[in-house]
Structure 1
Amino acid sequence: MKILIISGFLGAGKTTFIKEMVKRCKGEFAILENEYSSLDIDSAKLTDNSDKSKINIWEMTEGCICCSTKGDFATSVLTIANALDPEYLVVEPSGVGMLGNVIDNIKQIEYERIGLLAPITIVDGYNFSSRFDEFKDLYINQIKFAKTIVVSKMENTDLSEKSDIETFLKGINDKADILVQHYKDMPDCWWQQLFLKDYDGNIIQSVKKSEDFFENSDSAEDFETLSIENMGMLSPEKLIIILEMMLRGEFGDIVRAKGFLQAGGQNLQFDLAGTKYSVLFLENEVSSKSVFIGKNILRQRIRKYFFENSEYVKIRSYSK
Structure 2
Amino acid sequence: MTELAPNESVTGAKAMATLAAMRADVSPLTAKHPAHVFRPLSEMLSRWAAAGIDTTPFHAGVENARRRYVGYGLAKMLPLDRVLVGCDSSRAGAFGGFHHPDQGYRHLQMVAVITMYGPMERQNPENPALALLDLLRAYAHDCLHYGARRRYVEVAGVPVRTQYGINYRRATGQSYSAADRRGSHHTRNVGIVMEGACDKEARAVTRQTAERFGVAEPSDAPGSLAFRDLTGTLTEDDIRRVVDVPESEEQTRYGAALSGYEKGVNRRYSHFLEEFAPGEGSECHTRLLAAIISGDVTSLGAWLDDRHGPGTFTGLFRTPGYFEPGLTA
The interval holding the TM-score normalised by the smaller chain is under 0.3
Query: If the length of structure 2 is used for normalisation, what is the TM-score?
Result: 0.23
Could you say which structure has the larger radius of gyration?
Answer: 1
Structure richer in helix, relative to its length: 2
